[in-house]
């Protein structure tokens, strides 16, 4: 590999170590998709709810005053992005925050950006405030 001074249009110093560590396009696309799903206010509200409670479609619909089919669409988007997961209980599916480091980190970020805290009695990440 050429030095960064030779491959970059302007020589601002050697950044080859930064370029080698830069995430590839596929990883950036996956991460971008997660943020894209949270850019919708309804999905952000659903995500916040599911960070703190396991709920079925009907309860989510009632909580955010939206039709169950519309909620199902938003849940599908969040699930495909790996932000939430569902488990079958009898005839219904209950949704909650995905058990991944990425989802937990986004939970923390969303709480900070919304200037909200986890409700009392809910076991969430460790607050460092």
Q: Domains of the chain (ranges plus CATH)?
A: 43-116 (1.10.10.10)
Q: Which two tokens stand for residue 40?
A: 């919708």
125 has a pLDDT exceeding 90 = no
Mean pLDDT (whole number) for 66-85? 97
Q: What is the mean pLDDT of residues 36-40?
A: 91
Could you give the angle at which helices 25-38 and 41-52 cross, rounded to 10 degrees?
Answer: 90
Residue 91: per-residue pLDDT: 95
pTM, two decimal places: 0.79
> DSSP class of residue 118?
P
Q: Which of 23-32, 49-58, 66-75, 118-127 has the lowest mean pLDDT?
A: 118-127
């Amino acid at each position: 590999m050429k030095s960064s001074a030779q491959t970059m249009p302007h020589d601002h110093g050697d950044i080859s170590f930064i370029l080698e560590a830069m995430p590839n396009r596929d990883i950036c696309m996956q991460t971008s998709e997660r943020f894209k799903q949270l850019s919708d206010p309804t999905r952000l509200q659903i995500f916040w709810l599911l960070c703190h409670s396991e709920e079925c479609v009907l309860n989510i619909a009632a909580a955010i005053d939206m039709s169950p089919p519309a909620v199902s669409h938003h849940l599908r988007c969040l699930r495909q992005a790996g932000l939430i997961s569902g488990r079958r209980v009898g005839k219904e599916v209950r949704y909650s925050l995905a058990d991944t480091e990425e989802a937990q980190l986004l939970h923390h970020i969303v709480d900070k950006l919304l200037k909200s805290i986890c409700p009392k009695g809910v076991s969430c990440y460790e607050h460092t405030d």
